[in-house]
Structure 1
């Protein structure tokens, strides 16, 4: 296993370098669709329609990335009730285009969805595809904002705008068969995925102040966004330093996804549903008093929340938080406490954690071990751990010097 991981690591690094160079030097690919405009070092001040192409500004993000915000932009307001909507904040590669459509089509998320999409030259057709889906699907058009992220080449100084060819296709012909065929043609990127950059870009591009951070594969319980909206407006205001924690579960690939806490309770009792990563990494996801959570959800008609303690530096809590709240540290290596570092900072910053009743999300599939690719990424990123840990702890202890006792030591 270690030998295979090392081979994949070396191949991954070489492939990433080649992709970066290719991405920068081959500015125009085959028609139709997404391309990078040769701007000769200049940048557009706005998104423009240029004849047969739509041009989107791309800005430098950090030292290594370019970002084009709102390549698609949600048209829905979701404020008819006077409450601030919850933005579902996701990140993905082209491998998850079907899941992106599914999140928009689901009735369980009646609110804006902000997704950061990581592409390289081989996967850039995903931008064309989502742009077309956004044009032709009313639900996607209402909910989805896509922000495109790509890695700069070693010699690239400026971010070039993105051009998308205007489509003349009739939406009636863009059926499920055609969509499936076009998704299957896109080759996912084969690079180290900059997970915390992606999380932050999706939050910064969100169209509301309240953010529900999640993975794109997670499926939400019935009416999640609307059930949580009043509670989120009560707790998440950018001033009180309160966070809402959402329980996560997983089911076998062949099992159906439970719709509500009553159905989930029966599946848990029958060992058909489980707490998320209960075999692979329970320390990161198990939240105590599950049966009490079921009782409290049953006894109330509307969602509410109660304070729980911060667990440990392994805790990978899934949160609802405010736009003003801290963001993920982007120098933390992928798969090395990347989400836990944010949760730890929130604890050190005197935020309180409140577990929400009634609602939850579910992952289809029970994880038991790492894939070869995941092991290779982990092997590669471990080399960055010591330097990143020192930088993170210096920042934490300097910024929040008086809160160590309440949060304990961060182990990376």
Structure 2
């Protein structure tokens, strides 16, 4: 039997199609392996059935900006609740901070002084997730209007310590909180949180990075939630930047550190440098962590700073460096979203959590533009050193991690410079 070329081509094509069909039909199905700790969330977000899909979607309708993403071993609810106001990149400065729900009583007084955008990252493992949502709801509905205007909340937890269930956030935040009921941060002692009961460490640098990276604005003040700023920092800083054009004319990268202070337990928090200097003279205020880690917050020209009276606006008082007598300095500063991040392997319990970032700032020759009239004051109460055997174990392990692992990494990545230490 003779075949024309066209007939031969059709036979070959049919055979190829048959082979492909057999391969696809009989091929074993691939099953994706899912981390058992994280399967719960994947299951909740799975759209296997229409009704299930609608239920899951509806619980997040309160906020179209909400993103649920994995960050290493953590799940992050970015923008769990966003501020009503939005800001252009150079319109303001975002105060980025962190904690767990037991620290949220600090937000209203902080906001009264800052009066600008704030980003808060809350660590909320297990049952602490519900307590965090409850506390956020209370703050929005039962305290100052500034919460709704200016604060954006992010919440995160490790996969193996996920909540048993996620409350319907759309129902929660679409309803009014009953303000006659105290929130979780007033009724649950810090020793009774899920974190404490399960002996979990606090991933402080994960929280810092989440809040910082999520900022709407270019300039950020990455700080602690118990540190209250002096008044009018935002407008004075932006005016200084616009007038001096310092960020364009300076050859080195730079940040703008603020001096830090503590005040007595029953003292009023000073709002201006003039008020602060009076309190220092009367010994009602001291340098931050003076009795805990004086070297950590020993800033260049500190004596001259406290001997200099307040002036109008805001200016650079002195340009310092993080080496020599200040090699252990842990500056808290106004910087940008582009500045080095914090090492997420370090915990609050292990201490030294800002030292690795400080090393990078030093090696990269950052100028420390210390501001003349701006400062931060810790929530009233003088801190004293307390020996904590339980924490000492974490400190020892952290020191080993830094010296044997992280230090070598940083030296390879960023180099070595005389006087720069971790």
* Structure-1-length-normalised TM-score: 0.77
What CA distance in whole angstroms lies between the structure 1 residues aligned with 2:104 and 2:421? 39
1:113 matched to 2:123? The reply is no
Tell me if structure 2 keeps the 8 A contact 1:37–1:162.
no
Q: Name the structure 2 match of 1:139.
A: 146
CA gap of 1:232–1:371, structure 2 versus 1, over 3 A, is: farther
What CA distance in whole angstroms lies between the structure 2 residues aligned with 1:227 and 1:143? 19
Shift, 1:185, TM fit: 4.3
CA gap of 1:66–1:294, structure 2 versus 1, over 3 A, is: same
Partner SS state of residue 59, structure 1: strand
What CA distance in whole angstroms lies between the structure 2 residues aligned with 1:326 and 1:239? 18
Tell me if structure 2 keeps the 8 A contact 1:68–1:147.
yes
1:369 matched to 2:372? The reply is no
CA gap of 1:294–1:163, structure 2 versus 1, over 3 A, is: same
Q: Name the structure 2 match of 1:130.
A: 136
Q: Name the structure 2 match of 1:340.
A: 355
Shift, 1:399, TM fit: 2.4
More divergent stretch after superposition (251-260 vs 388-397): 388-397
CA gap of 1:130–1:386, structure 2 versus 1, over 3 A, is: same
State which structure, 1 or 2, has the greater radius of gyration over its C-alpha atoms: 2
CA gap of 1:195–1:59, structure 2 versus 1, over 3 A, is: same
CA gap of 1:169–1:40, structure 2 versus 1, over 3 A, is: closer
Q: Name the structure 1 match of 2:84.
A: 75
Shift, 1:147, TM fit: 0.7
Pairwise CA RMSD of aligned residues?
3.5
CA gap of 1:308–1:42, structure 2 versus 1, over 3 A, is: farther
Q: Name the structure 2 match of 1:220.
A: 229
Which one of the candidate residues 97, 109, 131 is aligned to 2:104? 97
Q: Bigger relative contact order, structure 1 or 2, given CA contacts below 8 A and separation 6+?
A: 1
Tell me if structure 2 keeps the 8 A contact 1:88–1:112.
yes
What CA distance in whole angstroms lies between the structure 2 residues aligned with 1:71 and 1:97? 15
Shift, 1:40, TM fit: 6.4
Q: Name the structure 1 match of 2:254.
A: 242
What CA distance in whole angstroms lies between the structure 1 residues aligned with 2:67 and 2:86? 24
What is the total number of aligned residue pairs between the two structures? 364
Q: Name the structure 1 match of 2:372.
A: 357
What CA distance in whole angstroms lies between the structure 2 residues aligned with 1:250 and 1:181? 27
What CA distance in whole angstroms lies between the structure 1 residues aligned with 2:47 and 2:353? 34
| Deviations 1:29-56 (CA, angstroms, capped at 9, x unpaired) | xxxxxxx7842667999x9851697585
| Deviations 1:22-77 (CA, angstroms, capped at 9, x unpaired) | 9979x7xxxxxxxx7842667999x9851697585421111x21111000112223
CA gap of 1:130–1:236, structure 2 versus 1, over 3 A, is: farther
Q: Name the structure 1 match of 2:30.
A: none
* Structure-2-length-normalised TM-score: 0.76
CA gap of 1:166–1:266, structure 2 versus 1, over 3 A, is: same
Q: Name the structure 2 match of 1:10.
A: none
1:404 matched to 2:417? The reply is yes
Which one of the candidate residues 302, 306, 312 is aligned to 1:301? 312
What CA distance in whole angstroms lies between the structure 2 residues aligned with 1:239 and 1:163? 51
What CA distance in whole angstroms lies between the structure 1 residues aligned with 2:94 and 2:71? 22
Tell me if structure 1 keeps the 8 A contact 2:62–2:174.
no
Which one of the candidate residues 58, 68, 76 is aligned to 1:58? 68
Structure-to-structure mapping, 1:247-262, within 5 angstroms: 247-262=259-274
Tell me if structure 2 keeps the 8 A contact 1:145–1:206.
no
Which one of the candidate residues 380, 383, 386 is aligned to 2:394? 380
More divergent stretch after superposition (324-333 vs 207-216): 324-333
Tell me if structure 2 keeps the 8 A contact 1:97–1:183.
no
